[in-house]
Structure 1
């Protein structure tokens, strides 16, 4: 199995006068939702599909609650979630307050097995 990609033209953000260059962009090949995950997990163990779904929903709620509190969520071998922020620069520490924050995002740092997956991927250009 190979990950499909397409060519995507992009301008150089540092010099918009330069000609565009083409970069590879991964193409998603469908998705897997909570229902599908719950069903798959139920076939792989003795837990029912509805129990798996309930656990996945609870996991999502608990991750959200922990992130709202500024905590790092460590999911063992799966990896870690954490809130990250970007801000405008200020001339002094005293001038820096919450109004300087321009963007927040959720960071995910994959565990070892997921990172190793990246070494085993193959790619093919979509036709």
Structure 2
């Protein structure tokens, strides 16, 4: 298996006079649903049904949202960790900063060692 990619030409916005260069863009080759994952989990176990696995994954999703919205880092052992980060406008002084200057939040995922190692061994194929 390999990760498919396409290429596109892009310029440097801060240096528009420089020639454009070609860059790779990862292309998804499909997707896996929650239900499909639960079936795969159950196939690897003699005691867990796909319904049981689905229930656990649904609860995991709810708990992840609850803990992240409370500002906690959620660590999934060797899988990795999730944490909320924010982007804001700047204030001239610390006293002038207020929460309404926060414009965007996103969830950062930091992979564990197994996933990081997988990235080192990826193979690539140009998408057609």
Place the TM-score, normalised by the shorter chain, in its bin. over 0.9
Partner in structure 2 of residue 66 of structure 1:
67
Deviation at 1:16, TM superposition (A): 3.6
Q: Which residue of 2 aligns with 1:33?
A: 33
- The equivalent of 1:14 in structure 2 is 14
Distance 2:48 2:22 in 1: 47
Local SS of the residue matching 1:76: coil
1:126: how far off?
1.6
Residue aligned with 1:77, SS: coil
Aligned positions, number: 127
Q: Residues of 2 paired with 1:70 and 1:13: CA distance?
A: 34
How much does 1:17 deviate? 4.7
Cα deviation for residue 21 of structure 1 reads 2.1
3-state SS of 1:118 partner: helix
More helix by percentage: 1
State the TM-score, normalized to the length of structure 2.
0.93
> Which moves more between the two structures, 49-58 or 83-92?
83-92
Displacement of 1:86 after TM fit? 1.1
Matches within 5 A, 1:1-127: 1-45=1-45, 46-127=47-128
CA distance in 2, matches of 1:11, 1:54: 47
- SS of alignment partner, residue 30 of structure 1: coil
Give the 3-state SS of the residue equivalent to 2:62 in structure 1.
Answer: helix
Map Cα deviations across residues 38-87 of structure 1 (whole Å, 9 max, x no partner). 00000001200100000000000000011111111111111100100111
Normalising by structure 1, we get a TM-score of 0.94
Which residues of structure 1 form unaligned runs of 5+?
none
Deviation at 1:100, TM superposition (A): 1.5
Secondary structure in 2 matching 1:29: coil
